[in-house]
Chains A and B, each alone.
Chain A
Amino acid sequence: MAEPLLTVNSLYKHFGGIVATDNVNLAVEQGGIHAVIGPNGAGKTTLIAQLSGQLRPDSGEIEFAGHSIVDYSVARRAREGLARSFQITSVVMPLTLLENVMLAVQGTGGHSFRFWAPVKNDRAMRDAALASLAEVGLDDRAERIAGQVSHGEQRQLEVAMALAMKPRMLLLDEPMAGMGKEETARMIEILGGLRGDKTILLVEHDMDAVFSLADQLSVMVDGHVIATDTVAAIRDNDAVQKAYLGDSHA
């Protein structure tokens, strides 16, 4: 078995009396697509928030590429190569798609205490950004304002920005949220194209997407992971059926 790129050990997080993350263990293999599923309120987004650094765990360990990142800030983790997308679209709405993706290139490309030369003329950054837009099929809309494109395109922009960071791993928080059938199919195609190239942790509600994309699957219920296995094995797992799939696929 390949060395895991991301390892989560005994992660705990509670808010008052509510346990959001209860002894979560997780190992994401290099180059794999690892999906996390679970009913609403299972603690998936809280988990992502702790992995990306927005929330500090009460206890537990997060190791990325061989060293602990649990004390790192959000920005530091991003620069270490852990890129995330947001469940609720989070881009700089008044800027163009290209400008948004250029920011993503800029964020991981050294410091930005550069006060004089226009960003516009930074060819290397522009080309890198256009390449990422092309990866998600948005290169023909590069000059559109982010706030004025469709919801599906904004979701694609999220992914393009995460890709532009040249990350070692992507944390995708419900990339299909609020998408129509066609847009979902498009996104599955985009993410499938990254297989092998990028390590992905995917939190997703859309079961079609999860089953067609994931290599490994973890099921979260009430803050803990009740099972982690291959997609086929999870489908046949009784506990999972009862806790989750049985409910929503009845």
Chain B
Amino acid sequence: MKAWLPQTWSGRIYALLLLSLALAPFVLDWMKQPFYLDLLTRALIFAIAVISLNLILGYGGMVSLGHAAYIGIGAYCVGIPSYYDYYNGWLHLALALGVGGGFALITGAISLRTKGVYFIMITMAFSQMAFFLFVSMEEYGADDGLVIYSRSEFPQWISLDSAFGLYYWIFAVLLLALFFIHRLVHAHFGRVIVGSKFNEERMMALGFNTYRYRLACYVLSAMLCSVAGMLLGNFAGFISPDMMSWARSGELIFMVIIGGVGTLFGPLIGTMVFVLLEEILSAITVYWHLIFGIMLVALVLYGKGGIHGWLSLLDRGGGGRG
């Protein structure tokens, strides 16, 4: 077998998933289904946010119930400049990374002094602060939100104006994010993050200032999530504080859990399933939340390791580790 082909069944399935995502716009265009391209685009954006959450939650054991704040921050970093007719995408990107990273640095420095359920509560509290800050800003539409009339412009580089173009740039960011996380968790930094999740006391006794590494991890995750927010602002063309409510943060956590906590492709597949299920179920019945809730409870109870956990059952006997 060729070395570059995935050696495990789960690996093959993920490769197939990525291939399908790469070809999807053409297929959907041929089938004349622009709605599903929109749905898929939205799913990819959320997948980037979920991948970023998984970095701290899955690999680092830091359960944040405030990650949607960074989606909102990223989106407003497109919305507010656009409101003043600044459409330069590099500016939007720099703002998203800077403001998202800055907010994470300050709030993370405080939040990471706590553990467990206190960490959950304090990250939620900070995200609610961001939420109410944007609700109070009348100039930018307050809780009615803000319409973005034109997408970020990257002169001579990238055009986000067509549905195709936007999809593929988002797909590119997603692939980059996956590659970045893959390198990160297998590098020295990642080992410290994973080690601190399982046994922080021991990591400190080994000489690691775990607080600093976790804070750096938190900031990196927030910056990636802010990029997802920037893409969502571009895609949706309409942003509101609702994007950063704590219920949204809860959905992100669910997507991580459905896919598989602390795995590379888990967040991607978890998001796909979440977004598609939401769509299908809501088309069938108005009581879809009930069915969805039951499915989630069943998954959490019986599906240890999420979808990735099930897929890696296929690898038993066949493949090696990782």
Check A118 against B201 for contact (C-beta < 8 Å). no
A105-147, CB under 8 A of B: which get 1 and which 0?
A: 0111000111111111010000000000000000000000000
Partner pick for A119 among B187, B209, B216, CB 8 A cutoff: B187
Stretch with Cβ within 8 A of B (4 or more), from A57-65, A83-91, A200-208, A211-219? A83-91
Q: Is A27 an interface residue (CB 8 A)?
A: no
Give the Cβ gap from B297 to chain A, nearest Cβ, in Å. 26
B170-209, CB under 8 A of A: which get 1 and which 0?
A: 0000000000000110111111101100110111111111
Check B198 against A116 for contact (C-beta < 8 Å). no
Check B204 against A74 for contact (C-beta < 8 Å). yes
Stretch with Cβ within 8 A of B (4 or more), from A31-39, A93-101, A235-243? A93-101
Check A107 against B199 for contact (C-beta < 8 Å). no
Q: From known contacts A86-B202, A112-B189, infer whether A95 and B195 are also in contact, taking CB-CB under 8 Å.
A: yes
Query: What residues on A are CB-neighbors of B186 within 8 Å?
Result: 118-120
Q: Sorted from nearest, which 5 A-B pairs have the closest CB atoms?
A: A107-B206, A107-B207, A78-B207, A114-B188, A112-B188
Using a Cβ–Cβ cut-off of 8 Å, how many residues does chain B contribute to the interface with A? 25
Partner pick for B209 among A52, A73, A83, A102, CB 8 A cutoff: A73
Check B202 against A117 for contact (C-beta < 8 Å). no
B residues neighboring A (CB under 8 Å): 183-184, 186-192, 194-195, 198-199, 201-210, 213, 216
Query: What residues on A are CB-neighbors of B203 within 8 Å?
Result: 92, 103, 107
Q: Is A165 an interface residue (CB 8 A)?
A: yes
Q: A107 to B212, alpha carbons, bound, how many Å?
A: 13
Query: What residues on A are CB-neighbors of B213 within 8 Å?
Result: 112-113
Q: Is A104 an interface residue (CB 8 A)?
A: yes
Check A75 against B198 for contact (C-beta < 8 Å). no
Q: A122 to B187, alpha carbons, bound, how many Å?
A: 10
Check A113 against B204 for contact (C-beta < 8 Å). no
Partner pick for A91 among B202, B204, B208, B216, CB 8 A cutoff: B202
Check A103 against B183 for contact (C-beta < 8 Å). no
Most chain A beta-carbon contacts within 10 A, residue among B191, B207, B210: B207
Query: What residues on B are CB-neighbors of A122 within 8 Å?
Result: 188
Check B204 against A73 for contact (C-beta < 8 Å). yes
Q: A73 to B209, alpha carbons, bound, how many Å?
A: 9
Q: A94 to B213, alpha carbons, bound, how many Å?
A: 20
Query: What residues on B are CB-neighbors of A108 within 8 Å?
Result: 206-207
Check B208 against A75 for contact (C-beta < 8 Å). yes
Query: What residues on A are CB-neighbors of B191 within 8 Å?
Result: 99, 102-103, 106, 112, 119
A69-80, CB under 8 A of B: which get 1 and which 0?
A: 000011110110
Check B210 against A75 for contact (C-beta < 8 Å). yes
A residues neighboring B (CB under 8 Å): 52, 54, 73-76, 78-79, 83-84, 86, 90-95, 99, 102-104, 106-108, 112-120, 122, 161, 165
Partner pick for B188 among A84, A90, A106, CB 8 A cutoff: A106
Query: What residues on B are CB-neighbors of A115 within 8 Å?
Result: 183-184, 187, 189
Partner pick for B207 among A93, A99, A114, A165, CB 8 A cutoff: A165
Q: A115 to B213, alpha carbons, bound, how many Å?
A: 11
Q: Which residue of A lies closest to B216 (CB)?
A: A113
Q: A249 to B191, alpha carbons, bound, how many Å?
A: 46
Give the Cβ gap from A21 to chain B, nearest Cβ, in Å. 20
Q: A94 to B58, alpha carbons, bound, how many Å?
A: 14
Check A92 against B199 for contact (C-beta < 8 Å). yes
Give the Cβ gap from A243 to chain B, nearest Cβ, in Å. 31
Check A84 against B207 for contact (C-beta < 8 Å). no
Give the Cβ gap from A214 to chain B, nearest Cβ, in Å. 23
Q: Which residue of A lies closest to B183 (CB)?
A: A116
Q: A102 to B188, alpha carbons, bound, how many Å?
A: 10
Query: What residues on A are CB-neighbors of B198 within 8 Å?
Result: 92-95
Query: What residues on B are CB-neighbors of A84 within 8 Å?
Result: 205
Q: A83 to B202, alpha carbons, bound, how many Å?
A: 11
Q: Which residue of B lies closest to A117 (CB)?
A: B187
Query: What residues on A are CB-neighbors of B208 within 8 Å?
Result: 75, 107, 112
Q: A73 to B216, alpha carbons, bound, how many Å?
A: 19
Query: What residues on B are CB-neighbors of A119 within 8 Å?
Result: 186-188, 190-191
Partner pick for A78 among B189, B199, B205, CB 8 A cutoff: B205
